Structure 1
């Protein structure tokens, strides 16, 4: 007997398959239970969105859910690897942080950063804006700007390196 409403069907699927899916997804997250639960939630959201086309036979439903769970996990892994690594400012972090009463230090840091940003090429500023202000991945940025992903990553690397050099006062090669 099938559940009476779509909500009942989703609840039934969650009750029946969530423990198995959670164990399966834990393998993709290195055993991180919070990440596995996030992936499970995304899997169930996709099931909810496709509830009208989901197979009704239990074994087919199970296979469908595991396929979706795998795709959700792979997408999450790809997203994690698509963003260029963040640059560590090392010991210079203390110089950029302002204390509660350090208004002048904050003004100097912001002015220094603005000046460094103006010193970047338009291409480098656009890349940083897409990645760090707009929050797009390297792949999304490449598509939006019509350049290869490698170019996005390279420009981000050199732009951040130039910013770090300008803010900290350490010289480096000019950005490409």
Structure 2
């Protein structure tokens, strides 16, 4: 049974008309009540309303009769459905939403990979000559142009370019010896 079908004018039997009238009269107030109980979860609220109306349909409790008002009964049924759903969720292991556990696990792996890459890079840099380490520090790690590095180091710009070229070549070789490529380390 679909709640939207209840509100349509296609209800033909007296029970269907009574259910539609019941929904139109009490549905908005019941929805607001259930929505508050569920902390604003509109999807679950709609499910609870639908289940409440289904129980009205099954019990043929569609109108006030024999001193029993339908509205308080509907609110009690809805409240009990919310409580039952909460107890069911608490009895099961905690649900994992979406793929957050996978993202968390990948983040941890990425952090470990980044740390290991950093250690390998540091070790490879130690294998370079002091002049090559100095020029890489002044250009790549300090994010400076070759001219800025040349001014800072007090050497000609051409010398900086040459040293960067040979330092990168040596660094690639040192990383390869350690089982990594420069792209694996720099790309992170």
TM-score, structure 2 as length reference: 0.42
TM-score, structure 1 as length reference: 0.44
